[in-house]
């Protein structure tokens, strides 16, 4: 029992189900960082919603098709997907809640750039 006291057993069900490999853990951490970036978005001080980063975590969080293609391309096992899916779903919820606050600046939006050409 002393061992459990010094090194508490994980209570998160994802940890209890499977050991997480380093790659999956790093990716999950990157997704969680992106979620914090989304949650910190303030339209009064930021003109850009989020940075794309190494991979398009936001796209994978809101598009099941893009996520599936990513999993297939990078050869994620079902166990790895089971670890990443909750992180992607959580990010997707944060994006859905914050996206309504985002208003692109007229001078930087694609629509405005096209309008000014004509």
pTM for the whole structure? 0.68
Q: List the Cα angle 18/69/19 in 5-degree steps.
A: 10
What does the mean pLDDT of the chain come to? 78
In angstroms, the CA 84 to CA 72 distance is: 14
Binned at pLDDT 50, 70 and 90, residue 3 comes out as very low
Please tell me the predicted confidence (pLDDT) of residue 18: 53
């Amino acid at each position: 029992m002393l061992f459990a006291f010094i090194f508490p057993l994980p209570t998160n069900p994802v940890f209890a189900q499977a050991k997480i490999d380093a790659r999956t853990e790093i990716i999950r951490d990157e997704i969680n960082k992106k979620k914090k970036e989304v949650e910190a978005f303030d339209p009064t001080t930021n003109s850009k919603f989020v940075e794309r980063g190494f991979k398009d975590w936001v796209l994978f969080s809101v598009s099941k098709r893009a996520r599936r293609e990513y999993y297939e391309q990078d050869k994620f096992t079902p166990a790895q997907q089971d670890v990443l899916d909750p992180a992607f779903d959580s990010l997707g919820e944060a994006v859905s809640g914050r996206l309504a606050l985002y208003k692109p600046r007229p001078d930087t939006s694609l629509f405005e750039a096209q309008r000014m050409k004509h």
